[in-house]
Structures are given as structure tokens and as C-alpha cells.
Amino acid sequence: MNRSLQAAVIGAGTATVVTVGLMLAWRAHDSSSRISSPSRQASPATVQQPVAKSLPPVVSDGTLAGESTDSHGIPTQPPVPAAAPALPPLLVKYGPLSFAPLVRQVIPAVVNIAITQNSPDGHDHVPPQIKGTPLEKRYHDRMKRQQDEMVGAGSGFIVDATGIIVTNRHVVGGADKVVVSLSNGHEMPARLLGADPLTDIAVIKVDSPEPLPHVTWGDSRQTDIGDWILVAGNPFGFGSSVTAGIVSAVGRDLGIGSLDDFIQLDAPINPGNSGGPAFNMRGQVVAVNAAIVTPAGGSVGIGFGIPSEIVAPIVAEIEATGHAEHGWLGITLDDSDTDVGIAGVDNGGPAQKSGLRRGDIVRQVDGTPVISARMLLRSIAAAKPGMVLNFGVRRGDQDVTLPVHIGPRPKNADN
């Protein structure tokens, strides 16, 4: 059968199906009309009206049966025990239908940060944060007028109505002047309260006559691989920008410091996003954007955030004291496939004073099994100087428990 004949047959077949369908529908309609309509000879009094049947309740596609919603259609949280903190309602339902409700709630608390730094030689050094971005031209124009300043850019977010702002240390470190821009364009000078080199966290403050919009911390330990995430910040100088993606992995070790425990995100993160927040779908901050993997300077979908479980205590400590302290023992670890052994002990260090020896195999700390050298280093770094941790070690053919006194971390200690 040639193509023309085949097409004609298909077309004819289609027309036949349509025609038969129309005829059947017309007959059904005609028959229904004859049944439901009164006969010309019948008396009007003999006509019976159809009895209306009650229908089952209809549940909207956007709401689960039995789920309560607010006036905007957003699901509300069920009651929680009195001892448990109440969670805010989900702002994104079931999938990426729209992130608009979430963005409207959180974006006023996300800020753009611009820094100036005195140039020691007056040369036109382009900061890496703005190289190749729209800010570079503004930088060159400014340098023509004023040769003693360099410009950098980053992001941050307000965590307290009094003007406490969290960002990365590498965004504001060494800055001579810091200016914060709100999402409405209002600019305010900021001062550095303190910074922590080990976690790359910095806290700055602005003075505002009115309370500022702010966001709250979420529990990053409840963040699962595959969860939706929203990133906000100042990429390439384009302020108040948001991107979305999922959590790609957790517990990433980038070899930056003892507290490495990054959340990997596939939401686009670019230069200028550093210090900005990553939100869960409840509008809570679960990570601070800190690093990206890129061969060409742009996002390739591999970004990293510092979990809120690490950041929140650091921020609180910097607010209270102006700095963050981390524990230190003065030991070198040997991480084999099965055991975590002590390869060296610093003379006069906290470990030696507590009785730890070279060759000890660390089995547990405060009852928690030690499964890797990285885990042990994180436990030590997260502890505060003066704390006592009970080390369970294997020494020769004996199991020994030692109370180990954590010391302060020296400024020149390796990360």
C-alpha cells in the first residue's frame, strides 16, 4: 500500500470512528430526551422530576484529605506537644509549583554586602569576587576617581531584628568599610563583630532605628538528600536573586578545616552568593553558602553550604564574646581502614597531660563510637576549651578509659 493510499485509509478510518461516535452520542442524547421529556399525550401532572442525589465531598487536588489549611491555602502544622517547639507551616506544597510564597517571606532579610579595602600600592587590582561580572566596570570607573580603594561583593542574611547579620569571613575579612544593602535598596554601614577562621563565619551589625526583617535557623540535621532548597543572595552583583535545587549530598569533607561537614547543593551558586542563606521549604536557614566547584568561574551545579548546626552556635558565641573558641588536643591521627590510632602526641599538649599516648587506638568518645579520624577531629574542634571528654582507648591488649581535658586552639594550629 503506498503512502497516499495508507494516509487516505487512516484518514477514512478516523472519520469513521468520529462519525460512529457522533451517531452513538446523538442516539443516547435522543433516547435520554425521549425518556426524560413528557409525552405529548401525557398530562403534566403525571410527569415525575428526577430525584437529586447527594454527592460525596470533593477534596481539592492541592490539599490532602483531612489536612487543614490557612486562608491562603497553605497547609498548617498539626498540634505539637507542649515541650516541643512549634514549626512554621510549609510554604511550598508537594513540589516546585511555585516558590513565590517562600521568596516573599525570606527575601527581605537577605542582604547584599559591598566592601572597600585600602590598596597598599594604589594599583588597579580587580577583586576575584567581581572579575568578569557587571560590577567590574563600576569598579574600574571608581578606581579612576579614587586609587586607594578596592571593591568586593557578597551576601548575608539578618538573624535578629536589631541588625545582626551572618556572612562568610572571606567576604568581609580585611575590609576597611562594609556597606549593607537591603532588598528595598536601602544602604547602611556595618561593623564587624567577629569572625571565625576555622568555619569561615563572620558576624556584622548594622544600626537601624526600626526593627529589621529577619529569618530563623532550621535544623540541618533534619535535611535529607533530595530535599528542595532555595538559595538567595547577590550573584555577580545582581542583588536579591534566588535559585532553587535539591540537596545533592551531606557530610562533604573539602579538606578546608577540622569542622568540614558541608551540605552539597545543586541550586546554582555563583561568585557573590558567598555568605548567603540556603532555605528549607519552611523558610528556615539550614546552610550558609560558602564554596563552589567550577572549571570556568560559573555554576556547574556543585555548591557547598556550611550546615546550620555548625553555624548557629558560632554566631551566638561571636555575638556574646566577639570570637569563637575551638577545642584542641595536640595529637596526630593515623586513620586506617579499621582503627583510628594516635600517631603522635605534642609535648606539653592537652593530650599528653591527660595521659594519651602514641599508639593508642581511640574507640569511643563520651560513649560515641569513633569511626574515622575526621569524626574525632570534629568532636575535638567542636568542644570548648576546659571541657572534659571521656576517651575509650585500646592500649596494647587492654581497654582504658581516660578523662581528657580539652585545651584552647592555638592561633597557628593547622586546620
d(CA 398, CA 286): 43
Going from the C-alpha of 51 to that of each of 34, 36, 48, 104, the distances in angstroms are 18, 12, 9, 50
What is the SS3 assignment for 165-202?
Answer: EEEEHHHHCCCCEEEEECCCCCEEEEEEEEEECCCCEE
> Which backbone phi and psi does 245 adopt, to 5 degrees?
-175, -155
3-state secondary structure of 126: coil
Catalytic residues: 170, 200, 274
Residues ≥6 apart with Cβ < 8 Å to 34: none
509549583: which residue's cell?
97
Question: DSSP code of 240?
Answer: S
Residues ≥6 apart with Cβ < 8 Å to 241: 232, 233, 234, 235
3-state secondary structure of 103: helix
> What's the Rg (C-alpha) of the chain?
32
3-state secondary structure of 219: coil
d(CA 286, CA 310): 10
d(CA 354, CA 214): 44
Quick one: CA dihedral 388, 394, 395, 398, positive or negative?
Answer: positive
